[in-house]
Amino acid sequence: MKELILKNAGPEIREIAGALLDGRRLMPDEALTLYKKADLSLMAVLATEAKRAKSGDAVFFNRNFHIEPTNVCIYNCRFCSYHKPEGDPDSWELTEKDILDIVKRFDGIPVTEVHITGGVHPSRDIHYYGKILASIRHLRPDISIKAFSAIELDYMIRKADMTYTDGLKLLRDYGLDSIPGGGAEIFDASLRRKICREKADAETYLAIHEAAHNLGISSNATMLYGHAESPEQRIDHLMRLRELQDRTGGFNSFIPLKFRRENNRMSELGEVPVTEDMRNYALSRLFLDNFSHIKAYWPAIGRDAAMISLAFGTDDLDGTIDDTTRIYSMAGAGDTNPSLSTTELVAMIRSAGYRPVERDTNYRTVKEW
């Protein structure tokens, strides 16, 4: 198999690919060489080998739903199609009752996770959101609460004049189980000054996730790609995540998030093609050797591209969603009402030649289909 994979590669690529197949860690300069020079088909083969070493023939999903409390946000990132100022006719601010009504819609439905994230509202504080967590925990003690990006956490914890550790402890006491990966964008400081100048920096994002991991709160990691970033900046981003994962082991999965152009101030950049999506998935799988899972978030890239990504190292399709997120539909993604049934997810995974495994937030098996 190894000889077949390497047969048509040039000597430089052959050496890197051979080292990968022998289990050696990919270095940043080698990652850049693969990104720029390796055939996409070779990237697929290498990433699939790496995926199978992590999770065999399993592809994971969960039964989940989202709550987006508000799209009012103190930040106005150039790539964001979601942000609205207070009073804008397209803004929303869900009340506690609104949020709990969403949870009640799933009474009797075997969901395992609620995902809560939204804008950074100027007047809602850590106790406001904490009490909502407690109310959700009271209504559904059986589900995992994954809530608040590092950007939201930074604001609410600083506003409470607390350390990240103490703020996360408080939220854990209210009912927080894990945190999502949003807000990472691209870590490079020069690029962040251009696309999200006001937002918390890379060091803050990483510090919050590290504090969470040290408290036993797992998280995901993301990267927003396909806009103004360079391959070198992508690899630097992955390197910082890999270094943190080496220290804590607290990341459950890595989620590349595709930039979508509609209704934002970076629309002139367009969008990268599907081939670039797949190259990015494969590189992520190969470089992040200490991440067990690479997720294709299907509302961001579409169902067809998500299925193709299973040949490029991904092993998770996220979940059922049930039409409870608007973040990517507002940016022009294909699924304006994102929802997949369990039956559809299982069929998608089987059609790609893999074994569907329903999981919980921390990848414990709920059911093998």
Strand, coil or helix: what is 50? helix
pLDDT in tens, 168-184: 999 999 999 999 999 99
Report yes or no on 221 lying in a domain: yes
Same domain, 139 and 18: no
Report yes or no on 295 lying in a domain: yes
Give me the CATH number covering residue 118. 3.20.20.70
Same domain, 60 and 15: no
pLDDT beneath 50, residues of the chain: 323-333, 336
- Give the whole-angstrom CA distance, residue 216 versus residue 236: 26
Q: Tokens 């990483």 label which residue? A: 206
pLDDT value at position 173? Answer: 98
Same domain, 113 and 242: yes
pLDDT value at position 221? Answer: 98
Report yes or no on 43 lying in a domain: no
pLDDT value at position 323? Answer: 43
Same domain, 101 and 15: no
- Give the whole-angstrom CA distance, residue 84 versus residue 73: 6
Q: DSSP string of 272-319?
A: --HHHHHHHHHHHHHH-TT-SEEB--HHHH-HHHHHHHTTTT--EEEE
Same domain, 83 and 31: no
pLDDT in tens, 247-266: 999 999 999 999 987 777 78
Report yes or no on 7 lying in a domain: yes
Q: How many domains does the chain have?
A: 2
Same domain, 31 and 115: no
3-state secondary structure labels for all residues of 111-155: CCEEEECCCCCCCCCHHHHHHHHHHHHHHCCCCEEEECCHHHHHH
- Give the whole-angstrom CA distance, residue 144 versus residue 172: 12
Question: Containing domain of residue 14, as a range?
Answer: 2-38
Same domain, 17 and 102: no
Same domain, 166 and 22: no
Determine which helix (DSSP H) or strand (DSSP E) holds 233, and give its type and residue range. helix 231-248
- Point out which residues pair with 70 in neighbouring strands: 93
pLDDT in tens, 94-136: 999 999 999 999 999 889 999 999 999 999 999 999 999 999 9
pLDDT value at position 276? Answer: 97
Report yes or no on 73 lying in a domain: yes
Residues with Cβ within 8 Å of 53's Cβ and at least 6 positions away in sequence, in order, are none
User: DSSP code of 268?
Assistant: G
Does residue 226 contact residue 259 with C-beta atoms inside 8 Å? yes
Same domain, 130 and 191: yes
Residue 151 CB neighbour total at 10 angstroms? 25
Determine which helix (DSSP H) or strand (DSSP E) holds 51, and give its type and residue range. helix 40-55
Residue 329 CB neighbour total at 10 angstroms? 19
Same domain, 144 and 11: no
C-alpha dist (Å) from residue 26 to 43, 284, 289: 13, 11, 8
Report yes or no on 45 lying in a domain: no
Same domain, 33 and 71: no
Report yes or no on 51 lying in a domain: no
pLDDT value at position 90? Answer: 81
The CA-CA-CA angle for residues 346, 179, 155, to 5°, reads: 145
Report yes or no on 44 lying in a domain: no
pLDDT value at position 87? Answer: 79
Q: Give just the sign of the alpha carbon dihedral 316, 317, 318, 320.
A: negative
Same domain, 71 and 34: no
Angle between helices 274-287 and 28-37 in degrees, nearest 10:
150
- Give the whole-angstrom CA distance, residue 360 versus residue 344: 18
pLDDT value at position 36? Answer: 95
